[in-house]
């Protein structure tokens, strides 16, 4: 039985997180545009279901997610919830507003807001991003900040990655975060990770409290076991899993338009999902329940934050978290080579 009121410390900080929160990337309208009413109903369903941890970012919907989340949270008692957001992108008015709908930032989000951005990991950029997030949320405190999308996918090449890391190291970016933490303005420093190898690069330079891991540890793939999670255990950094559904396919199953790693799922991926569903059918375990509960068996993982853009999806996530899963299901996945032999499995341990 899961208790969403029970929280675990993030590393050695004073921040404590429940076993499941709400990822708010979907409130930025990545794939479909939902109404403001539906966004608020989604957040209300999460609150009514006992969720008190909400993670967002300026990038989600080009600031739309922060606006939506802030409107909801401003109506709740501040001491009852945890809210985290991210830094690394700074938003501003576009130079050519009339034609900005053709920008790559607008194309990423079906319902994104028409603001331009720049990556900025310097001291000024980090502090500007932090202050802007406070204003968009309408809150005067944020519990944690995570360095966002400092990776090859978003920085385009290794040179840009190293420059961004140097901005954090040599131009005051990380120092700004450390000062915010030391002052009590935030309680933890995180990093959003989309690819293996980045955790090592960060831990070589900085003291990081937690990593928000988006793809390298799901029911479909576990490359983070090779080095990343070992390093987290050695440095006592916590892990939050952001993309438990591998960007879609582990929630939708093998539908025709299933998404994997933010792209259309391949036939190979769909075949593996089908095989997992077959093992699940033998043990009465829904695919979504397996996806949400699988990462929680790892000792570094303290929370999962699946997204939702409707009350129904929120309720499905809550049901998935609570669904009993017998040990035989996990063993069956290993016996069929569907998860790695060294992946921690079993009932929720905490």
Q: Is 264 a catalytic residue?
A: no
Q: Is 91 a catalytic residue?
A: no
Of the residues 29, 53, 64, 86, which is catalytic? 86
pTM across the whole model? 0.97
Per-residue pLDDT tens listing for the chain (350 residues): 578 999 999 999 999 999 999 999 999 999 999 999 999 999 999 999 999 999 999 999 999 999 999 999 999 999 999 999 999 999 999 999 988 887 888 889 999 999 999 999 999 999 999 999 999 999 999 999 999 999 998 999 999 999 999 999 999 999 999 999 999 999 999 999 999 999 999 999 999 999 999 999 999 999 999 999 999 999 999 999 999 999 999 999 998 789 998 889 999 999 999 999 999 999 999 999 999 999 999 999 999 999 999 999 999 999 999 999 999 999 999 999 999 999 999 754 44
Question: Can you give the length of the chain in residues?
Answer: 350
Of the residues 29, 53, 60, 91, which is catalytic? 60
Architecture of domain 15-335: Alpha-Beta Barrel (3.20)
**Helix H or strand E segment including 145:** strand 144-147
64-73 vs 123-137: helix crossing angle, rounded to 10: 50
Q: Is 149 a catalytic residue?
A: no
- Phi/psi region, residue 265 (left: phi>0; alpha: psi -120 to 50; beta: rest), is beta
* CA 198 to chain CA mean position, Å: 16
CA torsion sign for 297, 300, 302, 303 is negative
Q: Could you state, in order of their start, the residue ranges of all structural domains in the chain? A: 15-335
* CA dist., res. 53 & res. 73, Å (int): 11
């Amino acid at each position: 039985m899961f208790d969403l009121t029970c929280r675990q410390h993030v590393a050695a900080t004073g921040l404590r997180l429940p076993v499941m929160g709400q990822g708010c990337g979907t409130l930025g309208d990545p794939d479909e545009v939902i109404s403001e009413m539906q966004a608020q109903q989604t957040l209300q369903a999460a609150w009514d279901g006992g969720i008190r941890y909400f993670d967002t970012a300026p990038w989600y919907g080009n600031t739309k997610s922060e606006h939506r989340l802030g409107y909801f949270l401003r109506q709740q008692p501040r001491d009852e919830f945890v809210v985290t957001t991210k830094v690394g992108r700074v938003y501003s008015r576009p130079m050519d507003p009339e034609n900005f709908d053709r920008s790559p930032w607008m194309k990423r989000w079906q319902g994104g807001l028409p603001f331009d951005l720049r990556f900025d990991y310097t001291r000024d950029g980090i502090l500007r991003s932090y202050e802007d997030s406070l204003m968009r949320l309408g809150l005067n405190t944020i519990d944690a900040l995570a360095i966002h999308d400092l990776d090859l996918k978003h920085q385009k090449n290794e040179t840009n990655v190293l420059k961004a890391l140097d901005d954090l190291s040599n131009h005051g970016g990380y120092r700004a975060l450390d000062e915010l933490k030391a002052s009590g303005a935030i309680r933890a420093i995180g990093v959003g990770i989309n690819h293996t190898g980045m955790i090592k690069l960060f831990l070589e330079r900085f003291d990081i409290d937690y990593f928000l891991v988006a793809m390298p540890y799901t029911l479909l793939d576990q490359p983070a076991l090779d080095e990343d999670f070992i390093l987290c255990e050695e440095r006592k950094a916590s892990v939050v899993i952001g993309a438990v559904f591998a960007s879609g396919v582990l929630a939708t199953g093998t539908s025709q338009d299933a998404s994997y790693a933010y792209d259309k799922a391949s036939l190979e991926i769909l075949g593996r999902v089908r095989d997992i569903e077959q093992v699940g059918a033998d043990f009465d375990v829904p695919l979504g329940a397996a996806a949400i509960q699988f990462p929680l068996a790892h000792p570094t993982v303290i929370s999962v934050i699946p997204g939702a853009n409707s009350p129904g999806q929120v309720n499905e996530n809550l049901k998935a978290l609570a669904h009993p899963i017998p040990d035989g299901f996990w063993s069956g996945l290993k016996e069929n080579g569907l998860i790695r032999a060294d992946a921690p499995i079993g009932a929720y341990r905490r």
